[in-house]
Amino acid sequence: MLVLGIETTCDETAAAVVERQADGSGRILSNVVRSQTEEHARFGGVVPEIAARAHVDLLDGIVASAMKEAGVGYPQLSAVAAAAGPGLIGGVIVGLTTAKAIAMVHDTPLIAVNHLEAHALTPRLTCALAFPYCLFLASGGHTQIVAVVGVGEYVRLGTTVDDAMGEAFDKVAKMLSLPYPGGPQVERAAADGDPKRFAFPRPMLGRPDANFSLSGLKTAVRNEANRLTPLEPQDISDLCASFQAAVLESTADRLSIGLKLFQERFGTPRALVAAGGVAANHAIRDALQDVAARAQTTLIIPPPALCTDNGAMIAWAGAERMAIGLIDTMEAPPRARWLLDANAKAPKGYANSRAGY
């Protein structure tokens, strides 16, 4: 089974061709990603209109490059898959419309993929992981703990009630005048800082649910930064180190609860899987390793290129869905929001939660 995957939900324009073999294993034949970091850097964050226009300009060439690198023609494709959400709606429309055009012209099945499902299934591409396992998804738009029970079967165990983790890192970087993208800059500055200088809060610590909250921590960083203005370089490093330490402790606590909830409902997870751009943070990786060890399970983190947005994860999710007979019609809609767990609700008491992402 050969599947072309297209990803345009945020600021990466990506396409890939993945092969799913008869035994269920996968092989990446091509994976072309064009980041728009330079286009958005001067704004300190992703500008949806700029991202959508860039997808329009870039996508046809990237799809052609992915097909050429894979050495396959359109008649050889078993399906074309596109991320149909959740994400910035302009970009989602570009990718899904392109996939529909390819599918129509070449009479190829279409698969509309949930971007979150693609992250959830990626470890089955890299190491043939069996179900069930626990996913920790942390990126600029998502922070969730999910029980991955099977293809199309997901149970959300925890989510953020305000900011996503990657978003919090980026906002802290921006308030400290660090370059975009902010997450890696905060990690770099933290390496030279004192994590004990500032006693920042550990949000949600000790609560029986597995939800996250980062907005209060972000506000605490802003208050300290304002108090110290003008900031010296060491102040910035110490603020970053103290912020990151608070995130690590809070994440370890939330994940420990999440794994406990998983075990109560599904038994011991085959692995704790981390995905999303935040998984590239080395300090967070170390914290996750400790959590997995305490839970007596294995930590699996896909290669960095497959943790961030890419076409291979979309193609693989499409192949996994097609293998069990799940294909879509040309009426498949683009979605700005799309719950991975259809039964999930916003955490009690948080009506404005971003849990719908």
Confirm or deny that 140 is annotated as ligand binding. Answer: yes
Report pLDDT for 346: 53
Residues in Cβ contact with 38 at an 8 Å cutoff, skipping those fewer than 6 apart = none
Report pLDDT for 141: 85
CA distance 48 to 55: 11
Number of CB atoms found within 10 A of residue 242's CB: 23
Percent of the chain with pLDDT over 70: 96
| Model confidence pLDDT, tens digit, residues 39-53 | 988 888 889 999 999
Name the region of 33 (left: φ>0; alpha: ψ -120 to 50; beta: rest).
beta
Angle at 27 between CA 26 and CA 33, to 5 degrees: 115
CA distance 162 to 159: 9
Tokens 């499902």 locate to: 117
| Model confidence pLDDT, tens digit, residues 223-277 | 999 999 999 999 999 999 999 999 999 999 999 999 999 999 999 999 999 998 8
Q: What are the φ and ψ backbone dihedral angles of 209, each rounded to 5 degrees?
A: -90, 175
Q: State yes or no: pLDDT of 25 exceeds 80.
A: yes
Q: What value does the CA radius of gyration of the chain take, rounded to a whole number of Å?
A: 20
Q: What are the φ and ψ backbone dihedral angles of 9, each rounded to 5 degrees?
A: -75, -20
Q: Average the pLDDT over each of 51-65, 97-111, 130-144, 314-328 and give the range with the smallest value.
A: 130-144
In sequence order, what are the beta bridge partners of 146? 135, 156
Report pLDDT for 41: 85
DSSP code at position 17 = E
CA distance 136 to 247: 14
2-126+305-323 and 131-304 share one fold: yes
Report pLDDT for 353: 41
Q: Tell whether domain 2-126+305-323 is in CATH 3.30.420.40.
A: yes
Alpha-helical (H) ranges within 192-310 are 215-228, 233-266, 282-294, 304-307
Name the pTM for this structure.
0.92
Q: In angstroms, how far is CA 56 from the centroid of its own chain?
A: 22
Confirm or deny that 281 is annotated as ligand binding. Answer: yes
Nearest residue to 238 via CA among 257, 248, 224: 224
| Model confidence pLDDT, tens digit, residues 124-162 | 999 989 999 999 999 888 899 999 999 999 999 999 999
Report pLDDT for 11: 92
CA distance 101 to 96: 9
Report pLDDT for 344: 63
Report pLDDT for 23: 92
CA distance 59 to 54: 8
Which stretch of DSSP H or E encloses residue 46? none
Confirm or deny that 223 is annotated as ligand binding. Answer: no
CB-based contact 167:212 (threshold 8 Å): no
Q: State yes or no: pLDDT of 347 exceeds 80.
A: no
| Model confidence pLDDT, tens digit, residues 189-226 | 999 999 999 999 999 999 999 999 999 999 999 999 99
Q: Is 355 exposed, middle or buried (0-12, 13-18, 19+ CB in 10 A)?
A: buried
DSSP code at position 280 = G
Q: State yes or no: pLDDT of 279 exceeds 90.
A: no
Confirm or deny that 119 is annotated as ligand binding. Answer: yes
- The b/e string for 268-305 (b: 16+ C-beta within 10 A; e otherwise) is ebbbbbbbbbbbbbebbeebbeebbeebebbbbbbeee
For the chain, the average pLDDT equals 93
Confirm or deny that 272 is annotated as ligand binding. Answer: no
Confirm or deny that 141 is annotated as ligand binding. Answer: yes
Q: Average the pLDDT over each of 96-105, 189-198, 337-346 and give the range with the smallest value.
A: 337-346
Confirm or deny that 115 is annotated as ligand binding. Answer: yes
For residue 162, which amino acid is it? D
Tokens 């404005």 locate to: 352
Mean pLDDT of 310-321: 98
| Model confidence pLDDT, tens digit, residues 300-313 | 999 989 998 999 99
pLDDT band, very low/low/confident/very high, at 345 (cuts 50, 70, 90)? low
Ranges of each domain in the chain: 2-126+305-323, 131-304
Span 131-304: which CATH code?
A: 3.30.420.40
- Omega within 30 of 0 (cis) for the link into 233: no
Report pLDDT for 354: 42
Terminal C-alpha separation, the chain: 30
DSSP code at position 336 = S
